[in-house]
Amino acid sequence: MRLVRRETPLKGGQVRAFAAGVVIALVLGAILLVSTGHNPAEVYAKMLDASLGSPRGWSATLTRAVPLGLAGLAVAVAGSMGLWNIGAEGQLIAGAIGAAWVARFGGDWNGFVLITAMLLGAVVGGALIALGPALARARLGVNEIITTLMLNEVAIRVVRYLVNGPWKDPEGNNFPVAPELPPQSALPGFFERANIGVLIAAAVIGAVGFYSARSAWGYELKIAGSSAKAAEYVGISLKAKILTVLVLSGAIAGLAGGIELTGSSTRLVEGVGGGFGFAGIIVAALALMRPSGVAAVAVAFGAVQIGGGAIQTLGVPASIAGILQALILFGALGAAVLTNYRVVVK
């Protein structure tokens, strides 16, 4: 038995690979659940019901899909040019810090002005922390994988420092939290538990997807991603492209942090990153760096996470959500081999 490369990849292969990944993850997850004394059918039914079984469930799932989708989009924008932004987690945190900074030092504004300013602060925060790796890559050719990865750990510690030190809430019973945000900073509701962050994220993903598919900018990006030589030959400035793409990527991840803070939280806390930046990398990889796919995978992962949180009442740890997400990726990566290769038995 051996693998032979197909002349053309299987049509619709990635959708099939994703479906196969989900099936593989569910089977492996079921084995894990059975071996620890749980009933997989009951657990999966509860996960499905809690995440997609009601309007309320859908609202929670879509809310969770917002940071996953925006972080995924951030990774995908960089990935479409062949760059790896592993720092979405740190940029998301920097975005939340930027938004919190605006709320802390801004004026006594009404809700609309305050929220707009906070989200702008988030975009700037995410872009600023991405600027260093972007400059280092564009000017000096420094590998962006490692620099963005390292800055995740730096951002985690910056927010830890802030909520344990200068920004610590004096009335927080000594908990490491920043003071509560003003009530008018909360994003207005959309339906059930979801807020308009869902609409903002959908608009951003749609706009970036449309622009990168239809504009000259997006086309140049693809050329630069497939061949640096070809790009330089037709007069595309690689340095400028790298710089703008990585900073844009950081800004999008930063926006995710801003929406998390104004939409799903009432104050800046240490765990504001929530692992969304790391999960976003898997989301982007499963979507093959395409914005439309990012939205779909983000909703699926949102459902897994919300479902994972709901089964704690059955005595199953919420960590099953992370396990399933990673298994979906491994399953899909394995299945994707079959979209490019045929198995020949002889």
Looking at 40-48, 117-125, 147-155, 212-220, which segment touches other proteins (CB under 8 A)?
147-155
- What type of residue sits at position 152? N
319 part of the interface to other proteins, by CB under 8 A: yes
27 part of the interface to other proteins, by CB under 8 A: no
Q: Residue 306's closest CA among 103, 81, 56, 69?
A: 56
Comparison of 59 and 147: residue with beta carbon closer to other proteins: 147
User: Which residue in the set 24, 30, 120, 150 belongs to the binding site for other proteins (CB under 8 A)?
Assistant: 150
Calculate the dihedral angle through the C-alpha atoms of 222, 226, 232, 238, rounding to the nearest 10 degrees.
60
The rounded distance, in Å, linking the Cα atoms of 301 and 324 is 9
Q: Residue 167's closest CA among 308, 297, 39, 272?
A: 272
The rounded distance, in Å, linking the Cα atoms of 88 and 278 is 7
175 φ, ψ (degrees, to nearest 5) = -75, 150
Taking the CA atoms of 90, 87, 198 and 245 in sequence, report the sign of the dihedral they define. Answer: positive
42 part of the interface to other proteins, by CB under 8 A: no
146 part of the interface to other proteins, by CB under 8 A: yes
Beta carbon of residue 160, minimum distance to other proteins (angstroms, whole number) = 5
344 φ, ψ (degrees, to nearest 5) = -110, 125
Beta carbon of residue 338, minimum distance to other proteins (angstroms, whole number) = 10
Q: Which ranges in 142-196 belong to alpha helices (H)?
A: 144-164
Contact 57, 306 (CB under 8 A): yes
153 part of the interface to other proteins, by CB under 8 A: yes
30 part of the interface to other proteins, by CB under 8 A: no
- What type of residue sits at position 265? S
Comparison of 34 and 113: residue with beta carbon closer to other proteins: 34
43 part of the interface to other proteins, by CB under 8 A: no
Build a one-symbol-per-residue string for 279-298: x at contacts with other proteins by CB under 8 A, - elsewhere: x-xx--x-------------
User: Which residue in the set 217, 317, 342, 343 belongs to the binding site for other proteins (CB under 8 A)?
Assistant: 317
Please state, in angstroms and as integers, the Cα–Cα distance from residue 29 to each residue in 33, 175, 323, following that order.
Answer: 6, 36, 8
44 part of the interface to other proteins, by CB under 8 A: no
Looking at 212-220, 233-241, 274-282, 299-307, which segment touches other proteins (CB under 8 A)?
274-282
147 part of the interface to other proteins, by CB under 8 A: yes
The rounded distance, in Å, linking the Cα atoms of 307 and 313 is 11
The rounded distance, in Å, linking the Cα atoms of 53 and 73 is 27
Build a one-symbol-per-residue string for 164-193: x at contacts with other proteins by CB under 8 A, - elsewhere: xx----------------------------
Terminal CA-CA length for the chain: 6
User: Which residue in the set 15, 326, 342, 343 belongs to the binding site for other proteins (CB under 8 A)?
Assistant: 326
Q: At what angle do helices 55-79 and 197-214 cross, to 10 degrees?
A: 30
Build a one-symbol-per-residue string for 208-247: x at contacts with other proteins by CB under 8 A, - elsewhere: ----------------------------------------
272 part of the interface to other proteins, by CB under 8 A: no
151 part of the interface to other proteins, by CB under 8 A: yes
DSSP state letter for 8: S
DSSP state letter for 266: S
136 part of the interface to other proteins, by CB under 8 A: yes
Binding residues for other proteins, rule: CB under 8 A, are 5, 32, 36, 84, 86, 132, 136, 140-143, 145-147, 149-154, 156-158, 160-161, 164-165, 275, 278-279, 281-282, 285, 317, 319-323, 325-327, 329-330, 333-334, 336-337
